[in-house]
Structure 1
Amino acid sequence: MTPSATSEETKPAPRPPRSGPVGDTRPAGGGPSAGTGVRRLTAVDVRILEGVAVGTPTVRLAASLYLSRQGIEYRIGLMMRHFQATNRAALISRAHSLGVLSVGAWPPRVLPEFLEP
């Protein structure tokens, strides 16, 4: 670079704006929609997601599902990647915002349309 280069020449090209999750075709009005682009969850993933939503510890989830602690952590990591969440709280928040978890009921449950047949 020459000493006469301006700061405009040294700036990197601007990045395009980030979009939502891949395949998110939910209407702008919000609410659950069959076309959210969220893949269907397996029965094990449903039980794990519901357990995380109510605050069940990993070890208790592992014991109740007959899986290892590492297996539970692995499945949670896959769901966090799929929902583009950085931690468990963000995972549950994204699931609620995409309409995957029931609203207005405790304990939260995954809606049947998101369960893999």
Structure 2
Amino acid sequence: MKKEKKQHHVFTLLIEVGRKDDDGLPETATGAALMCYASGVDEAEAVRETVALLKQAGLAPLDVSGYGSLEDRRAEGHDISVEEEALMQRALAENSVVVAQTTAFYADKS
């Protein structure tokens, strides 16, 4: 009996990370947000794999917001640029996680 391979999709995830020694974030940052495209058979798998990868990379994931698959986002009318779709296709082709953008957070000094 041959096991059927489930189709993978690419999910858009926003991961908030805190500080950890040697995390590679700017010295004065208090944390960061990472926009990621992750491949998985469902969003839960994509989240698990992404969090595990970020922990392995020395980051401290705190919160994950999922924005659905490419198909979900198109159905909701999201504007998806050619560059963004190319990164999603890369994540799918490589069955990987692509960190598309990192935004560092800084404490308000006012």
Greater helix percent: which structure? 1
Name which one, 1 or 2, has greater alpha-carbon Rg.
Answer: 1
TM-score by length of 2: 0.30
Greater strand percent: which structure? 2
Relative contact order, CA 8 A, sep 6+: which one is greater? Answer: 2
